[in-house]
Amino acid sequence: MNNKTAILIFANSAEKEIISKSFLSRNLFETLNAKTIAVAKKTGLPYFHYTETQQIGNSFGERFTHAIESIYNKGFNAIITIGNDTPHLTSKHILKTVEKLQKHNLVLGPSTGGGFYLMGLKKKQFNKTLFLKLPWQTHTLNRSISKLTSTNKVAICYLELLTDINTTTDIKLVITSFKALSRTIKTLLLQSLLITKKVITYYYTVFTTFILNQPFNKGSPA
């Protein structure tokens, strides 16, 4: 199956990512993008990186579904999709997915946020209409997929649970995990936490000062 399986890296450029995730730095996303591509190359599988310039559609669901469909149209029978915001993702996760796809039509790497960091899907299981109806980018995504596969009696295989970085809480989960993490990525994540803390402290100080400087009015005398 290997020669008929492709990796889809569905991840925007660093410039685009920091617009929606302003608490992270451009340097971090550039590092994560480079790491993700290196992980894909290490598997030996053909891979395609779809940034915002290759994506077509108005919503995330439309863009993601179109990207998957376009890879199948290239002649592949199975696709393994990954993003760029899972620091603990390794080539082993992808190769294990290839192995599991031998007996399963769908493989998911669940994320702590309720979605998934990886999806392995055979072409015969791809239903464009159903894909577009899924609650993309919500904490109920994984649950919805599980319910859908159960209803249609589709065997699904799960990988280990990992964390995507969507909030500052996710950063803390990644840093405190016992899983291996490069020194560079860990340093950049710690810097993001520090910057976020300073910003919150600044606005809290401004707000508190504003409240304290307001004239205190007890009301009209009786």
In a domain, 194, yes or no: no
Q: How confident is the model at residue 178 (pLDDT cuts 50, 70, 90)?
A: confident
Q: How confident is the model at residue 23 (pLDDT cuts 50, 70, 90)?
A: confident
In a domain, 219, yes or no: no
In a domain, 141, yes or no: yes
Q: Provide CB contacts within 8 A for 53, sequence distance 6+.
A: 13
Q: What are phi and psi of 80, to 5 degrees?
A: -120, 115
The span from the CA of 191 to the CA of 194, in Å, is: 5
Q: How much is the average pLDDT of 10-29?
A: 89
Decide: helix, strand or coil at residue 106: strand
In a domain, 209, yes or no: no
Q: How much is the average pLDDT of 11-33?
A: 90
The model's pLDDT over 184-208, given as tens digits with 9 standing for 90+, comes to: 999 999 888 886 654 444 333 444 5
Q: How confident is the model at residue 149 (pLDDT cuts 50, 70, 90)?
A: confident
Q: What are phi and psi of 6, to 5 degrees?
A: -125, 155
The structural domain count of the chain equals: 1
Average pLDDT of the chain?
87
The model's pLDDT over 80-94, given as tens digits with 9 standing for 90+, comes to: 999 999 999 999 999
In a domain, 200, yes or no: no
Where in the sequence is the domain holding 21, given as residue range(s)?
2-164
**Paired strand residues for 9:** 49, 82
In a domain, 32, yes or no: yes
In a domain, 176, yes or no: no
Q: The CATH number of the domain where 140 resides is what?
A: 3.90.550.10
In a domain, 36, yes or no: yes
